[in-house]
Amino acid sequence: MTDGGRLRQLFTEHGQSPWIDNLTRPMIAEGGLQALVDRGIRGVTSNPTIFQKAISAGPYYEEQFASLLRSHTVQDAYWGLVMRDIVDALDVLRPLYDASGRGDGFVSLEVSPVIATDVGATVGAARWLHGAIDRPNLLVKIPATAQGVTAVRQTVAEGRSTNVTLIFGLDRYAEVIEAYLSGLEDFLAATGNGAAGDVSRIHGVASFFVSRVDTEVDRRLEAIASAAGPEDPVSGAALALRGKVAVAQTKVAYQLFTEAFSGPRWEGLQAAGARVQRPLWASTSTKNPAYPELLYVDSLIGPDTVNTMPDATVRAFDDHGTLARTIDSGIDEARDTLARVAEVGVDIADVATVLEDQGVASFLASFDGLMAGLTEKASSSLGPSPAVTTT
């Protein structure tokens, strides 16, 4: 890795904040997170899969887990483990949050995936996490299910900052933007904009997933080509679109963002102190080894955006990433790509629905797997007791 020049330039020259999509206890305790911040990383995202890997990876959590089990259930002990890491990470990022005028330095923590389709439980979880952690640079992640979108509006209306995750399609993204704007309006209507109603303290990002879209679309394109046969023009048209749809859709998503956060409605909110809900490009590691390793970073650079990258992608970009504004180049071509993929028979709206369901299920499986592992560990170390139930 270089001295981090590219990571810093990504923000200073192009207005995009690079975040790290990973968090572990040794990463914090041994100075790895601080080193990343020093190189130019400006935020952290986490999810149930990340914590499953972190907690299962070694002995770093065992002492605290054993201590928590003396008076907590396994599930409560899990949240104790997670919140310690989040608080420590928030403290590492707090100087950046202050120095950036509260514009960066955020750490995201997701509500339990068990409640992804429960509006009331999601709103309650967001309240609880913000209250228990009580750091201004915390973003509570809420999945962008239909119920989650409703919960986002209510959470924002209550003055709480959010990261809306698992967005895979343009229609859902438009709903997420509307939930944020309406939530800000509800907040101002309820509080005014005095000391108790400082709308500028509400932050938001909308996590638009990228590479998984190509994975699913490519699968469908190859099935269409196979069914058509090599001599059918549909086959060639379908195969020519592989690896192009995710970037095209993301570029169009950025156009939705710029349109929503301009004009009279937004100008009124902005005058009251409101901040934009930045689009965050997630799932930006390349899944297909035939594609450039920085396809979902180099192609999506632009102002008022975030790109959250796993460790390997951060290293790759810092070493040889391209620094150029690319997010709003080739918009006509992007729209044409989306039109052509529909013409060959891929239903992009259905792709988004399938990926949303898969995303929620994947996080739930990670959460359930971790709970099962922690329960087994608790039972083997302490024996059966009320404190080792998962309820």
141 belongs to the catalytic site: yes
CA distance 36 to 18: 10
Sorted by sequence, the CB contacts under 8 Å of residue 322 that are 6+ apart come out as 294, 298, 301
Active site residue: 53, 141, 251, 377, which one? 141
Report the largest interatomic distance among the alpha carbons of the chain, rounded to a whole angstrom: 69
CA distances from 198 to 108, 192, 195, 203, 266 (A): 21, 8, 6, 11, 16
Residue 165 amino acid letter: T
Reported for 362-369, long-range contacts at CB under 8 A and 24+ positions apart, including other chains, are 362/49, 363/47, 363/48, 363/49, 363/110, 363/113, 363/116, 363/143, 364/48, 364/113, 364/114, 364/116, 366/47, 366/48, 366/49, 366/51, 366/52, 366/113, 367/48, 367/52, 367/112, 367/113, 367/114, 369/52
What tokens does 196 get?
Answer: 């108790």
Q: To which residue do tokens 């909110």 refer? A: 269
From 111, 166, 101, select the one nearest 136 (Cα to Cα): 101
CA distance 31 to 198: 34
Burial class (CB in 10 A: 0-12, 13-18, 19+), 193: middle
**Which sequence positions are flagged as catalytic?**
141
